[in-house]
Amino acid sequence: MPDYSIPCDRLNAIVSKFKTVSLIVIGDVMIDEYMWGDVRRISPEAPVPIVEVDTVTRRLGGAANVVQNLQSIGITPKLVSICGKDDNAKHLKKALADINCSSDGLVESSHRPTIIKTRVMARTQQVVRADRELISDLTTEETNQIWALFERNFPTADGVIISDYGKGTISQPLIGKIIEKCVSNKKFVAIDPKDRHFDLYKGVTVITPNLKEAFAMLGIPYRQCTDEDIRQIGWKILDNLNLHYLLITLSERGMALFDSQKRTMNHLPTEAQKVFDVTGAGDTVISVFSAAFTCGASPLEAAFISNHAAGLTVAQVGTASVTPDELIAVCGCTGVTNS
């Protein structure tokens, strides 16, 4: 199988267009909180380690991490989501302001908390995670507010990313309206999917499930599988949902890109040299793929670039993003295999 790579002038042409593109990001926002410390003893109260916390950091998570990834590479993101009326919402808005992203698209809920995921870290090892959230569909009023913000931003956006973490922002009626509007206007729409909405994703440009999610989409128990199994699963999903493209992330095995028009599957081996943390890797993939595609890259070129970007982010602890210069540098060295 021949190697695939992007010529440097072609790569530069794609990346240089990032600053001219705007993408709506709609979905569940959250804060990723990290408590950093060391373990020196076991608790006398229970057989668990005591982490002596010395530092606390907060990062953008969920759809907000997609926004951060887009902003980092030069795309103008337009965030549409919901948060609470609480201190964590203040932290969220400040973090968005710190990356020069507007929080005008955030609806404040009087009964939903701002989602926060707290990870207790012993050096680089996660000891436990605590989630504070309310998982339920939005009220009719909140959904209407979200839709109004989406419609306000839609005319000037080059595409839409739906970051569905299954927390409630993306409901059945809302996602139906979003997809219908994108399809009728022939506008790019990408979805990072969750199992509760699999049957609603018909006709979109691309979805980016991981392998476990791909199994769940077909109602198949997850198991170790061969390349041929992945090929069969991918074509079933793509055909069942009438997708243009399907990009399945395969962890240490890389990615598989399915193209409905060319009826081809391309396997992209992982570009990660080191893997410290896969948190947010899916956000990086959908962000960079969407950015590249809307800037004129072919699906394979977009997958190639996003695969390299993910290889950089998983080498860091916690959610991370890349810059255009880092993208160009890392993409200039390796290739993908076609099949």
Look at residue 124 and tell me whether its pLDDT is greater than 60. Answer: yes
**pLDDT confidence tier of residue 316, bands split at 50, 70 and 90:** low
Helices and strands in the chain: count of H runs, count of E runs: 10, 15
> Domain 3-36+51-338 is classified in which CATH homologous superfamily?
Ribokinase (3.40.1190.20)
Nearest to 185 by CA among 150, 148, 152, 159: 159
Which carries the bigger pLDDT value, residue 94 or residue 331? Answer: 94
Q: What proportion of the chain, given as a percentage, has pLDDT over 70?
A: 91
Q: What pTM does this model have?
A: 0.91
CB neighbourhood size of 3 (10 A): 9
For residue 78, pLDDT over 80 is answered with yes
Region 291-320 average pLDDT = 84
Distance linking the first and last C-alpha atoms of the chain: 6
pLDDT at 138: 95
Average pLDDT, the chain: 89
Q: In the predicted model, what is the mean pLDDT of residues 80-88?
A: 97
> Is 283 in the active site?
yes
- Catalytic member of 86, 164, 283, 325: 283
Lowest mean pLDDT, pick from 16-30, 161-175, 287-301: 161-175
pLDDT for res 150: 98
Average pLDDT score over residue span 158-166: 95
How far apart, in whole angstroms, are the C-alpha atoms of residue 220 and residue 213? 10
